[in-house]
Chains A and B, each alone.
Chain A
C-alpha cells in the first residue's frame, strides 16, 4: 500500500467533514434526520471499537477473567457511570489494568 496516498486520502476525508458545515454556515439548515443520525455516530463507532479492542484478543473472543483489557474496561465503565468524570474514568481504568498485569505476571 502507498502510505502517502493513504495519508492524502485520510487528510481529505478528515478535512471535508470538519470544513463542510463551516463552509455552509449562514447558508443552509441541515435536514433534521441527518442531524439526528450524526448524533449517534460517536456512540456507535466508539462502542464498536471498545467491544473489539477489549473482548477480541489475539483474534479470538476472550471472555475469561484473565482478560486484563476487559476487566479494566468494566472498571472504567462503572466509574464513568457513577462519576461521569473523564479523567477519573481513565485513571481508574489504567490502575485496574496495571493491577491485573501485576497479578497475571
Chain B
C-alpha cells in the first residue's frame, strides 16, 4: 500500500489539477521571457534552475523594465519568503528525513506541491510514505513547468505580439484568486490596502524599488495591526 512507486503515482495524480492550472503560466512566462530579450537557453535555465513561478515572472518583468541586478535579486528574495512559510509549515513532517533528502525536496517546494502535500496531511494524518508522495508531486510539476516554458518561448518567437495580448492578466487574476480568500483578519485587509496604495504611489521609483518598499511597509502595517499586546488586552501595571 505504501510502496514508493504507488505513493509517487498518487502524488502526481493529486497534483494534476494544479499542474493543469499552472501550464498557461509557464506558457506566458516563456513568451514574456522571449519578449524581454532573454535567450532560449537562459529562459529554460531559469525554469529548470530556479523553478519558482512568481520569482521568474517578477524577474522577467523587472528585466523588461531595466531594473538593476540587486533590485531583482532582493525582490525575488522577498517574494520567496512565501515558500519559507510553506517550508516552516512542513517542519514537523520532515524532521526525521536525512538532510540531503530535505535539501533535494526543498528545491521543488512550489505552491502546487505544498497544496497537494497539505491536502494529503489533512486527509491521511501521519500516513507513511510522504517523501515519495512529495517526490511524485514535485517531479510531475517540474516536468510540465519545463515543457510549458519551451512551448511559451517558441510561441512567443512565432507570434511576436503574444506578450502584447495582455496575457499578464492571467497572472493578475490568479494572484487575486490566491490573495482574496486569505484576507481574513482586519490586519490582512489593512496590509493589502497599504500595499495597493503604496505600490501605485511608488510605481515611478527607480528599478521597481517601490514594489519592495510597498511590500515591507505593508508587512509592517499588518504586524502592527495584529500585534498581540493591543491596549485593551494589556493588564494595568
In the assembled complex, how far is the CB of residue B211 from the closest CB belonging to chain A, in whole angstroms? 5
CA distance in complex: A48, B81 (Å):
15
In this assembly, does B169 line the interface, its C-beta being within 8 Å of a C-beta of chain A?
yes
Query: Which residues of the partner chain B approach A42 to less than 8 Å between Cβ atoms?
Result: 82, 85, 178-179, 182
In the assembled complex, how far is the CB of residue A37 from the closest CB belonging to chain B, in whole angstroms? 5
The answer to whether B180 touches A84, judged by C-beta atoms less than 8 angstroms apart, is yes
The answer to whether B79 touches A45, judged by C-beta atoms less than 8 angstroms apart, is yes
The answer to whether A36 touches B195, judged by C-beta atoms less than 8 angstroms apart, is no
Of the four ranges (under 10, 10 to 19, 20 to 34, 35 or more), the interface on chain B belongs to 35 or more
Query: Which residues of the partner chain A approach B12 to less than 8 Å between Cβ atoms?
Result: none
Q: Binding site of A, secondary structure by majority: helix, strand, loop or mixed?
A: helix
Give the contacting residue for A77; candidates B102, B168, B176; CB below 8 A.
B176
Query: Which residues of the partner chain B approach A39 to less than 8 Å between Cβ atoms?
Result: 85, 222
Give the contacting residue for A93; candidates B72, B172, B204; CB below 8 A.
B172
In this assembly, does B173 line the interface, its C-beta being within 8 Å of a C-beta of chain A?
yes
The answer to whether A7 touches B42, judged by C-beta atoms less than 8 angstroms apart, is yes
Query: Which residues of the partner chain B approach A81 to less than 8 Å between Cβ atoms?
Result: 180
CA distance in complex: A97, B199 (Å):
22
CA distance in complex: A51, B90 (Å):
31
The answer to whether B179 touches A50, judged by C-beta atoms less than 8 angstroms apart, is yes
The answer to whether A48 touches B177, judged by C-beta atoms less than 8 angstroms apart, is no
